Amino acid sequence: MPLHNREIADTFIKLANLLEIEGANPFRVRAYRNAARVISSLAPRVSDLVAQDKDLSELPGIGDDLADKIRTLIKTGELPLLKQVEARTPPILHELMKIEGLGPKRVKILYQKLGIRHVKDLQTAIKQGRLKKLSGFGEKTEQKILSGIQHLNQYTKRMKLADAAPVVDSLLRYMRNIDGVEQVECAGSYRRKKETVGDLDILAAAKDSEKIINAFIKFDEIAAVITQGTTRASAHLHSGFQVDLRVVSEKSYGAALLYFTGSKEHNIAIRKIAVQKKLKLNEYGIYRGERQIGGRTEEELYKQLGLAYIEPELREDRGEIIASRKHRLPKLISLKDIRGDLHCHTHATDGSASLEQMAKAAEQLGYEYLAITDHSQHLTVAHGLDKKALIAQIKKIDRLNAKLQNLVVLKSMEVDILEDGSLDMPRDILNELDLTVCSIHSKFSLPQKKQTERILKAMDNVCFNILAHPTGRLINHREPYSIDMERILHGAKERGCILELNAQPDRLDLNDIHCKMAKDIGAPIVISTDAHSPSQFSYMCYGINQARRGWLEKENVINTRPLKDLKKLLNRK
């Protein structure tokens, strides 16, 4: 399978990190990091560009040398320079870099001054109090590293849903082409659209199961077959996923799909209902005595149990069973309900496309509106816009809107919430905007009470509309900062502020539990992609997945409203 932009970017980040530890020229290090950033936010797949013989050096920040390296990486799957650097640096350095709170500089010190050779050594050194004696390592850093080590172990096992999607697509395509496969689906946490998945559970219906298993193990993405039987097999894929395959007969397909979709907690709860009804439910069907009374479809099984059909995203035993029995299940939001996107970036800050290109892409999706939310000044990593630059952008948007037929571009900004809860832009200019998207990009480790009050104070500003990526977590990479979500949600509701569900696959922030909490409290939600390129508008589907897991309906989400109604919600004055 061709390399994903994300994998290419990760390779360059690894290279930059190792070079930085070695003390290489900082400009060179920065160039590789920059390349990683450009590639990860790029619309087309770089491997497609290479296949079409496009000139990569035309991309921003990519010179001839880098273009050459990218081509080599895509064609051979390897980067010779990285191989060389890896050969001369001990692997533990890269291991240590994966720990939250450790960057190249600190890793170098740990290796050289403390002689750390294993993650275990690091834990011991902290326990013995040797770390805080080093300059630049306080007690806080120690705590951060310790919890970073704990998370490291959790993180390595689960993959992001968006990374699983192309793998599942190609696997299902392969399975559908096998002669004799009557039905096939990916069950498990993937079907429940969980933000991360542990492994992939493929279920197929066929008469001759052994024949299907024999064909499955010939799939060329398989790196190793773990187990192989007559009705099931497990294998490791080159992409790092583990796949479990089960083959059942058609008359059991619905029962097996229900069972292997899970969750385990949901399964246990519905099996209890079966027992109460003096029925037996298992992965082959539902039985009264010895007689099978259902099992072909999930609908049939829920019906026998006296339940309305429950969407896979809700099957977590979080109240869906009672709701189903009482016919009070939510009518879950879907992608077609979305009328616009209220968070995206252009190349005026850290996006990769122009204002016009972003607007055109949104128009092609059939959106009614799009808010341009480039960063404010304070955000040093991305050269945020100052007041003058924002005024220039506002004028540009006016001119663009005069030309656009079907889409309205809304003037906005992603404004930084500073440590004291003030906004990183003066009121007079914020008043010129249609809405603001406000977020935290600094001081992540404030105590919970301070962090919560920082946000509530920011919301007191009548120019505040949307709290973006409310907890700041990055899946498998950075823990959320500590806030009292209930207080924030009540505070938002009282003030007429909105919480974002950021649809970037590594954010998905708010999470499912928080979405349900927001719904119960009555705080409005917006689902936004935070797109940094036109292609990233497609992340909306991941936001929808998370929203559905959080029981959200169309009416809970403000960007399902027509522009006129939306504008009313955004006007706090």
Least distance from ligand DGT to the Cβ atom of residue 517, Å: 23
* Residue 118: burial class (beta carbons within 10 Å; 0-12, 13-18, 19+): exposed
Is residue 268 a contact point for ligand DGT (CB under 6 A)? yes
Least distance from Ca ion to the Cβ atom of residue 330, Å: 25
Q: What gap in Å lies between CA 191 and CA 194, rounded to an integer?
A: 8
Is residue 453 a contact point for Ca ion (CB under 5 A)? no
Least distance from ligand DGT to the Cβ atom of residue 300, Å: 19
Is residue 198 a contact point for ligand DGT (CB under 6 A)? yes
Least distance from ligand DGT to the Cβ atom of residue 260, Å: 5
Is residue 298 a contact point for ligand DGT (CB under 6 A)? no
263 touches which of Zn ion, ligand DGT, Ca ion, none (CB within 5 to 8 A by kind)?
A: ligand DGT
Check if the beta carbon of residue 279 is closer than 8 Å to that of residue 304: yes
Is residue 107 a contact point for ligand DGT (CB under 6 A)? no
- 188 vs 470 by CB, closer to Ca ion: 188
Q: How many residues bind ligand DGT (CB under 6 A)?
A: 14
Tokens of 263: 């969750």
Tokens of 167: 């793998």
Is residue 484 a contact point for ligand DGT (CB under 6 A)? no
Check if the beta carbon of residue 542 is closer than 8 Å to that of residue 511: no
Is residue 236 a contact point for ligand DGT (CB under 6 A)? no
Tokens of 374: 């480039």
Q: What gap in Å lies between CA 501 and CA 541, rounded to an integer?
A: 12
- For residue 184, give the 3-state DSSP assignment: strand
- 199 vs 486 by CB, closer to ligand DGT: 199
Is residue 199 a contact point for ligand DGT (CB under 6 A)? yes
195 touches which of Ca ion, ligand DGT, Zn ion, none (CB within 5 to 8 A by kind)?
A: none
Is residue 267 a contact point for ligand DGT (CB under 6 A)? yes
What x-and-dash track marks residues 169-208 binding Ca ion by CB under 5 A?
A: -------------------xx---------x-x-------
Is residue 260 a contact point for ligand DGT (CB under 6 A)? yes
Check if the beta carbon of residue 552 is closer than 8 Å to that of residue 332: yes
Is residue 188 a contact point for ligand DGT (CB under 6 A)? yes
What DSSP assignment string belongs to 416-455? EB-TTS-BSS-HHHHTTSS--EEE--S-TTS-HHHHHHHH
User: Roughly how many angstroms between the first and final C-alpha of the chain, as a whole number?
Assistant: 53
- 193 vs 411 by CB, closer to Ca ion: 193
Is residue 263 a contact point for ligand DGT (CB under 6 A)? yes
Is residue 496 a contact point for ligand DGT (CB under 6 A)? no
Least distance from ligand DGT to the Cβ atom of residue 262, Å: 2
Q: What gap in Å lies between CA 189 and CA 399, rounded to an integer?
A: 47
Check if the beta carbon of residue 158 is closer than 8 Å to that of residue 477: no
Check if the beta carbon of residue 63 is closer than 8 Å to that of residue 57: yes
Burial 252-282 (b: 16+ CB within 10 A, else e): bbbbbbbbbbbbeebbebbbebbeeeebbbb
In the set 185, 244, 313, 414, which binds Ca ion (CB under 5 A)?
A: 244
Residues that bind Ca ion (CB under 5 A): 188-189, 199, 201, 244
Residues that bind ligand DGT (CB under 6 A): 188-189, 194, 197-199, 201, 259-260, 262-264, 267-268
